[in-house]
Structure 1
């Protein structure tokens, strides 16, 4: 083998190596910067506690705050960057403790979650929408954990009138990435306003306060501008199913929805598409299911 042949061979090998690097570089560049926590399983997404240890911060109600105070739950971990924020709001005459379980449950999966009190227990959906946005602004701009939050990826959740407020707030602020109205009640919730957040509506088949035929189903049908939407109807469940005590079905699909659309984490597609089938917990599930 002469020197010229050796030089040509070395040149070809170097070129092949460079091509390999160039071809594999985009894959590394395409890694999701928002992915938090280990790959999910059925066991991990239905567990009472996720992979992150959680701390909490109390926010007293104060004049000029814009909402009635609340509690912030956040992962203690400091080595995984910032986390998406979620504000959770109770329903009509509902105290903060009625939705308190969402805070640690969601935060332990890798979110900064604020459960709030409303200014007055009888505040109607338009007022609750304003308070949710005020709470979100406080969480991302003024709170003790604002540096732990990625303000570009906000999410909202609310029960009953808080669910109606969730839809209104998402319509008012197009930057909201994901919304989950729970048994939403609002006779005029966004029926003529575009909601651009990926929205999961959760209703209950035995809800006589906010019957799904009058509220959840029409609201779902009107979500024409949502990039992705889904409707989950709980089986043998009433209006207060999401209050006080944790509900595994609500938690599972809320976590999957927020992970997918706040963290852009496609590892959670498996729980959303293909859609879940009717079961003892789920009466019906509809969605656009265009993930991929």
Structure 2
């Protein structure tokens, strides 16, 4: 039976220092868990351990090793300050009776504050939300993509050669925490450098830094516009800038990712 994200969170069982869980095959991306799933589980575990956390404002994610099967999530309240709370949430996986590290994260949670600075860069690529029933598609079975719906954007004149632009939503999103949803969808695009080659080849995300730009992320019908643009791809490595907007054209997340290229 296929399990959605909420099922995986509900199945987490409390252990000393965190939680135990399982990543089934349908959530894999190659031989490891889809990166957005891993980050989402890490955040959900942190929220479960500390339900009074302020809203997520920044995530630093390191993809250390392949995650699959039985996992453990260790939650570490690094610092609870007056302004910001820093939480570590690391995932290890069972391999030959040992538990090597698979994911290391640091989440920064912080509420809004009054400020004399008010500046927003309006670089929204102005594309309409998808026509539901015509433009959407589900990913293929036996892949993490089956848990998402997509709507491609064709012929946008502002796209570069290493530039993905796509509407995405979680197929079963009822009850999802909005911050966890951003982690879950934020890494759903292929690495932008993949547009520079024919077909697909082995790749591996190394790091992901994501900054949440609002304490109340909202959109219509679950649709988010994702963009990944690579400004450097050579010598087996790529750096890309990533953005997420809601259906009203408001940017809700921005970040960067380092990717290893084996092709």
TM-score (norm 1): 0.26
Which structure has the greater CA radius of gyration?
1
Q: Which has the higher helix share?
A: 1
Higher relative contact order (CA 8 A, sep 6+): 2
